[in-house]
């Protein structure tokens, strides 16, 4: 069962300019302790595994096309906020802070489904892509490059994926953060 606690901070500032960004009150959900393997793998309780650094990986897909958009990480607060607000929140490992996806870039991710894998080690979000792009570089997916097999069959060179070449960065999408 998900039980709300109020031990977490109430409000978060996201704006780099220091302007107060209104966010719903932030509080962490109390996720159940990890159970037996059977409970974890086949039970109906949501028991996400936050690893030693307190993070769980999250694969995010387009709910319509199924395309993988990105891989992110969530701490308890980010996952709680994602569940409660219906918008994807992550933990930014580069900035070391809570990351409300789209708060700066406009590339928000309204969540349509939240799934977890068998051992509850990885979250899967199915989101509705609002801006046409998810990656801060401007592409629909962060996975817009493809490794090509080299002549010696061991060396690979990076190139734009053929499937993505027609999808140029959208004008007006800018990234203010790291
Ligand atoms: Zn990206």
Inter-residue contact 63 to 50 (CB < 8 Å): no
CA of 133 to the centre of ligand 1 (A): 9
CA of 32 to the centre of ligand 1 (A): 32
pLDDT at 58: 98
Picking from 23, 25, 73, the residue whose alpha carbon sits closest to that of residue 52 is 73
CA of 143 to the centre of ligand 1 (A): 7
pTM score > 0.95 for this model?
no
Inter-residue contact 25 to 10 (CB < 8 Å): yes
Inter-residue contact 73 to 90 (CB < 8 Å): yes
CA of 138 to the centre of ligand 1 (A): 8
Which residues, in sequence order, are CB contacts of 22 under 8 Å at separation 6+? none
Residue 103 — φ and ψ, nearest 5°? -60, -35
CA of 17 to the centre of ligand 1 (A): 23
∠ Cα 91 92 93 (to 5°): 110
Residues in the chain: 178
Per-residue confidence in pLDDT tens, the chain, 178 aa: 455 554 444 344 444 444 445 454 457 898 989 999 999 999 999 999 999 999 999 999 999 999 999 999 999 999 999 999 999 999 999 999 999 999 888 889 999 999 999 999 999 999 998 887 888 887 888 887 766 555 555 554 555 554 454 454 443 333 334 3
CA of 43 to the centre of ligand 1 (A): 34
CA of 87 to the centre of ligand 1 (A): 17
């Amino acid at each position: 069962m998900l039980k709300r606690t109020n031990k977490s901070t109430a409000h978060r500032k996201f704006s780099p300019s220091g302007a107060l960004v209104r966010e719903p009150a932030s509080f962490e959900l109390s996720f159940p302790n990890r159970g037996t393997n059977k409970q974890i793998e086949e039970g109906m309780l949501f028991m996400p595994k936050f690893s030693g650094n307190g993070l769980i990986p999250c694969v995010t897909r387009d709910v319509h096309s199924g395309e993988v958009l990105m891989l992110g990480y969530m701490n308890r607060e980010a996952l709680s906020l994602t569940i409660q607000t219906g918008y994807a929140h992550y933990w930014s490992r580069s900035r070391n802070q809570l990351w409300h996806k789209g708060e700066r870039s406009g590339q928000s991710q309204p969540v349509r489904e939240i799934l977890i894998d068998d051992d509850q080690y990885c979250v899967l979000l199915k989101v509705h892509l609002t801006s046409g792009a998810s990656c801060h570089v401007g592409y629909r997916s962060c996975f817009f490059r493809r490794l090509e097999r080299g002549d010696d069959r061991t060396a690979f060179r990076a190139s734009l994926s053929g499937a993505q070449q027609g999808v140029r960065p959208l004008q007006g999408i800018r990234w203010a953060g790291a």
